[in-house]
Structures are given as structure tokens and as C-alpha cells.
């Protein structure tokens, strides 16, 4: 069984209302929403299956588009 520490924080009423609204929009409790936000900001790792879903989905050759000519710039 995993124990989870409980953290407390203080925010202004305006910030609290924004948090409540975002939690409602995601159909989460405020605690669940804040835990999700903190995990996304603190845990420095790629989500499970990220490379298989994003990078592994490329198919076909990689072709660079024509770049055109560089513009002439004034010297300082």
C-alpha cells in the first residue's frame, strides 16, 4: 500500500475560484486536479508511451522544403 503525504497551501480567493472551475471542467475534485497539475510540473519524465505515440507514428521520407534566398541586411 502506498501512503501519500498531505500538503497544504494558501492562495487568494480569486486563484481558488480559477482552480475550482478548472477542476469542475475536468470532472475532478480540487485535490485530484491539483495533484495532477503538480505531477505535470514536478515529475520530469516523458509520459508512458509518448515516443511510440508521437515519434513512432512518422511514416514516409523526411523532406526539407525549399529554403529560398537569404535577404540582404544592412551592416551596423
State the average pLDDT over residues 60-73. 85
Joined together, the cell numbers standing for residue 74 give: 544592412
Report which secondary-structure segment, H or E, holds 40. Answer: helix 30-42
Q: What is the model's pTM?
A: 0.54
* pLDDT per residue as tens digits for the range 2-61: 788 888 899 999 999 999 999 999 999 999 999 999 988 887 677 777 777 777 677 778
Q: Which residues of 41-69 are buried (b: 16+ CB within 10 A; e: fewer)?
A: eeeeeeeeeeeeeeeeeeeeeeeeeeeee
Amino acid at each position: 500500500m502506498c501512503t501519500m503525504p498531505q500538503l497544504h497551501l494558501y492562495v487568494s480567493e480569486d486563484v481558488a475560484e480559477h482552480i475550482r472551475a478548472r477542476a469542475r471542467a475536468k470532472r475532478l475534485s480540487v485535490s485530484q486536479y491539483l495533484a495532477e497539475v503538480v505531477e505535470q510540473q514536478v515529475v520530469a519524465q516523458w509520459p508512458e508511451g509518448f515516443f511510440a505515440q508521437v515519434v513512432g507514428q512518422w511514416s514516409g521520407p523526411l523532406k526539407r522544403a525549399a529554403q529560398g534566398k537569404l535577404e540582404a541586411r544592412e551592416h551596423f
